[in-house]
Structure 1
Amino acid sequence: MASSSPDSKRLTKPFSLATLLVMVSCCTHFALAAREVPAAGNDKAMRERYEKWMAEHGRTYKNSAEKARRFEIFKSNAHFIDSYNAAAGPGAKSRPGLTTNNFADLTEAEFNNIYIRRRSLPRPPSVVETGFMYGNVCLSHIPASIDWREKGAVTPVKDQGSCGCCWAFSAVAAVEGIHQIKTQNLTSLSEQQLMDCSTGANNRGCNLGDMNEAFRHIVHSGGLTTEEAYGYEAKQSTCRSSGKQAAAKIRGFQYVPPLNETALLLAVAHQPVSIALDGNNTAFRFFDGTGIFGAADEQCTTELNHAVTAVGYGTDENGSKYWLMKNSWGSRWADMGYVKIARDVASNTGLCGLAMQASYPVA
C-alpha cells in the first residue's frame, strides 16, 4: 500500500468493496537486455550498485548502522532479482523481469506491513444488491481493447506512501474516471477526504478499507472535493470536509458479477473499475513493467489484500490477453505505476483473484 520513500511526483490511490473487506508477455531479447545484469559476485560490485540505487531513489538513513542493515536487505533482494532474471535465459518467452525498484531496501515483512494487510476472505458480493448495468451489453459491441488513459479519464499515477490506504486510491481513481467520462472534465480528487471522513466499520484509514463503503460515503456526503483543496497526508486525520466544495458526485455504485472475467470486461469497456486482488507476491513487488504479469509462471493466491484500478484491457503482439491496472505505489514502480496482468488464465477467479470483488461508481 505505500512506499517507505514517497514518490516525488505525488500520491496514488487504493481501494475495497461493499460486503467485502479489502483490504507483461513481451519479454523479448531487447527487454531482457534492459533488465538488471547480475552483479559480480563480490561485495564491492554490490556496494557500488547499492550506492547508485540510493542516489537514484534519493535514499538516506539516520546513521551508518541503519545504512549497513539496509545494504544487507538490498543485497538479499538483489540476489533474488538477479537469479529470477537469469533463470529466464536469453530465449525465454513471455516472462516478466524484475528490478531493484524503490522497495529494494525493505524486507518482505516490512513491505507487507506497509502495503499488504492480510484479511480473511469475505464472501463474494451479491449483484442483486446493486444490479449490473452492463449485463445486457453484447461482447461484439465493445472494443477489442481500451485504454482509458488515452481517452483522458485517468489522472497521473499517485503514491499512497507509508499508509495502507490503497482502498481510497482505488475508489478515487474509479470516481475520477466516471466523472471525466460524464463531464469531459478530468479532475484529481481527494483520497485524504475519504481517509478522514469515510470511517465506517470497514474503513480504517491506513489499516485498509472497503472501496464500496467509500462509494457509499461519497454518495451520502454529497461528493468529493479536489486533491488540491484537501491534500494527501499519508495518515488519517480529523475530517475537514465541511465548507469544501464537491468537485465530483456519484449516484451510487454496482458490483461486477463475481468470478466472471467476461462481466468484468463489459464493465471496464465502459469505465475504470475498482479491483481487489492478491498483491503479496515478491515478483509483483519487484516487477519491472515489461511484459504481462502472470503470462509465464508468476504465482499468486486469491487472498485479497490490495486494491488497484482497472483502466483498460487488450492483447499484446504475442496474442496474450491482459488487464491494464493502475496502482498506487508511485510512478517508479513497474511501468510508470501501471501493470499488465494476464487475462482469462485463471479459472473463474481471475489471476490473483482480480475477478472476485470488483465494483464501480455510477454517476
Structure 2
Amino acid sequence: MDMTAMRKPLVLAVALSAILLLAAAAADVDVTVRDSDLESEETMWDLYERWRRVYASSSQDLPSSDMMKSRFEAFKANARQVNEFNKKEGMSYTLGLNKFSDMSYEEFAAKYTGGMPGSIADDRSSAGAVSCKLREKNVPLTWDWRDSRAVTPVKDQGPCGSCWAFSVVGAVESINKIRTGILLTLSEQQVLDCSGAGDCVFGYPKDAFNHIVNTGVSLDSRGKPPYYPPYEAQKKQCRFDLEKPPFVKIDGICFAQSGDETALKLAVLSQPVSVIIQISDRFHSYHGGVFDGPCGTETKDNHVVLVVGYGVTTDNIKYWIVKNSWGEGWGESGYIRMKRDITDKNGICGITTWAMYPVKKYIVAHDDADVAAY
C-alpha cells in the first residue's frame, strides 16, 4: 500500500483540526474594553494582543515594527473611544472593537467606503422602465425582507471601496427572488470588473444598475452553477461573456423621492432599496442597537448599503434595517439598525437623498436556468 497516499488524508485532518482549534480559541477570547484595560501601556498592549488573536488576519499578518506601532496607536484611540462612549447614559446603541479597530478612521474610510451619487442633472423620474409610483395602503408597523428569505447572506467587500457594487447586486438578488421565487447569489466581481461604474476607490450605483439593465449580472461562483470567478477585492479584466448564460437582468431602476422618509418606507415595503449614506468614526465601531448618529458630512465618506426593512423597538424607537458589506463580524451580524423618522427630512446620515431600486417584471421560473435566462 502507498504510505504517502495514506498520509495525505491524515495530514489534512490534522491541519483542519488545528485550524478549528485556533478558531474556537479565538472565539473564546474576550475583547470587551474595560477601564482596567486603559490603565497603562502594558494593560492596553495586553488588550491589543487579545484582539490580535481574534482579528489579526483582518489587519496585518506580519507587520513591521513601525507598522505595528502605528496600528497600536490607532487601536488605543479606538479602544478609548469605545470605552468612553459605552459609559454614556441614555444612548440607543453601543460601540465595540471589531476587525477595523487598529485602523485610523481616515484609513478605514479610504478603503471601505466609496459610493458616489450621480449628476444633479440626472432625470430621476424617467430612470425606470415602468411606473415608479407607489401607493400607501395596508402599511404594516414593521417589515423585514429577511423573513421572506429574499435577502442573501451578508458578504464582505474587503479592503476595496466596492460597497456600491455590493448594494446594487444585493438589491438585484432580492428583486429577482421576489419576482421569480428563487434566491440566487450574484457576482459583485463581475459588476466591479465590467460595468464601468467604478473601482475600488469609488463607484456610481446608478451606472451599475444600468449595466445590469443592459447586460445582466452573472451568478457568483459561490452560487449554483458557478459562472463568474470569485470576488477578489480588486478590479480585474472583464471576463463576462454574453454568449454563455446564465445571468440575471432587470428592466430598469427607480428613485424614491429624495428627502422623504415615507417614500423610502413605501419603497422598502415593495423591495430592498440601495441607499447612499454618510458615515462617521462611530459608524465604523458600531456594535449594536439603534444608531442615531453623528454622521459624516464629507462626500469622501459616502457609503452604499441596502435597506431591507424597518421596525420599532419596545421603547418606541423607529429604525431602518440596513444590510452592510463588511462581513458578519461587524455590527449586528453584518447589519445595522439606523434611526427612522427623524426631524431632518434627509433622514439619518442622509439615507433618503439617493435611494434607488431595480425594476423587474414578474416571471414564472421553474429552476435556476429559467431565472438566469431572463
Work out whether 1:301 is the aligned partner of 2:297: yes
* Partner residue, 2:65: 64
Cα shift at 1:298: 3.0
* Partner residue, 2:159: 162
Q: How does 1:34-113 map to 2 (within 5 A)?
A: 36-38=33-35, 39-59=37-57, 60-86=61-87, 88=88, 92-113=89-110
Cα shift at 1:301: 3.3
Larger Rg over CA atoms = 2
SS of the equivalent of 1:360 reads strand
* Partner residue, 1:188: 185
- Structure 1 residues 319 and 187, CA gap change in structure 2 (3 angstroms): same
Q: Which amino acid aligns with 2:76?
A: K
SS of the equivalent of 1:276 reads strand
Q: Could you tell me how far apart the structure 2 residues matched to 1:124 and 1:314 are?
A: 34
- Structure 1 residues 273 and 258, CA gap change in structure 2 (3 angstroms): same
Q: Could you tell me how far apart the structure 2 residues matched to 1:175 and 1:79 are?
A: 40
Whether the aligned pair in 1 keeps the contact of 2:116 and 2:205 (CA below 8 Å) is no
Q: How does 1:173-252 map to 2 (within 5 A)?
A: 173-199=170-196, 203-228=197-222, 229-230=227-228, 231-242=230-241, 243-252=243-252
Greater fraction helix: 2
Whether the aligned pair in 1 keeps the contact of 2:191 and 2:217 (CA below 8 Å) is no
- Structure 1 residues 123 and 162, CA gap change in structure 2 (3 angstroms): same
Q: Could you tell me how far apart the structure 2 residues matched to 1:166 and 1:345 are?
A: 25
Cα shift at 1:64: 3.4
- Structure 1 residues 338 and 208, CA gap change in structure 2 (3 angstroms): same
Q: Could you tell me how far apart the structure 2 residues matched to 1:149 and 1:112 are?
A: 28
Q: Specify which of 347, 353, 367 is matched with residue 356 of structure 1.
A: 353
* Partner residue, 1:262: 262
Cα shift at 1:347: 2.1
What are the ranges of 5 or more consecutive residues in structure 1 without an aligned counterpart?
1-33
Runs of 4+ in 1 over 4 A off after TM superposition: 117-122, 131-134
**What's the TM-score once normalised by structure 1's chain length?**
0.82
Q: Which amino acid aligns with 2:83?
A: D
- Structure 1 residues 121 and 211, CA gap change in structure 2 (3 angstroms): closer
- Structure 1 residues 64 and 127, CA gap change in structure 2 (3 angstroms): closer
- Give per-residue Cα distances to partners, 1:205-259, cap 9 Å, x unaligned: 1121111111111111144333432211111111101144234221111111111
* Partner residue, 1:275: 275
Q: Could you tell me how far apart the structure 2 residues matched to 1:344 and 1:362 are?
A: 26
* Partner residue, 1:333: 330
Q: Could you tell me how far apart the structure 1 residues matched to 2:101 and 2:77 are?
A: 9
Q: Which amino acid aligns with 1:249?
A: K
Q: Could you tell me how far apart the structure 2 residues matched to 1:273 and 1:283 are?
A: 23
Cα shift at 1:73: 1.6
Which segment drifts farther, 143-152 or 162-171?
A: 143-152
* Partner residue, 2:22: none
- Structure 1 residues 324 and 302, CA gap change in structure 2 (3 angstroms): farther
Q: Which amino acid aligns with 2:67?
A: E
Q: Could you tell me how far apart the structure 2 residues matched to 1:278 and 1:72 are?
A: 25
- Structure 1 residues 191 and 120, CA gap change in structure 2 (3 angstroms): closer
Q: Which amino acid aligns with 2:41?
A: D
How many aligned residue pairs are there?
318
SS of the equivalent of 1:332 reads coil
- Give per-residue Cα distances to partners, 1:21-48, cap 9 Å, x unaligned: xxxxxxxxxxxxx963232411221111
- Structure 1 residues 145 and 119, CA gap change in structure 2 (3 angstroms): closer
Whether the aligned pair in 1 keeps the contact of 2:255 and 2:354 (CA below 8 Å) is yes
* Partner residue, 1:135: 133
* Partner residue, 1:4: none
Q: Could you tell me how far apart the structure 1 residues matched to 2:313 and 2:149 are?
A: 22
**What's the TM-score once normalised by structure 2's chain length?**
0.79
Q: Which amino acid aligns with 1:287?
A: Y
- Give per-residue Cα distances to partners, 1:248-287, cap 9 Å, x unaligned: 22111111111111111001001111001102x0110101
Percentage of identical aligned residues? 37
Whether the aligned pair in 1 keeps the contact of 2:305 and 2:325 (CA below 8 Å) is yes
Q: Which amino acid aligns with 2:125?
A: V
Cα shift at 1:68: 2.8
SS of the equivalent of 2:327 reads coil
Cα shift at 1:141: 1.4
Whether the aligned pair in 1 keeps the contact of 2:322 and 2:336 (CA below 8 Å) is yes
Q: Could you tell me how far apart the structure 2 residues matched to 1:134 and 1:220 are?
A: 19
Q: Could you tell me how far apart the structure 2 residues matched to 1:318 and 1:74 are?
A: 34
* Partner residue, 2:23: none
- Structure 1 residues 337 and 244, CA gap change in structure 2 (3 angstroms): farther
Cα shift at 1:162: 1.0
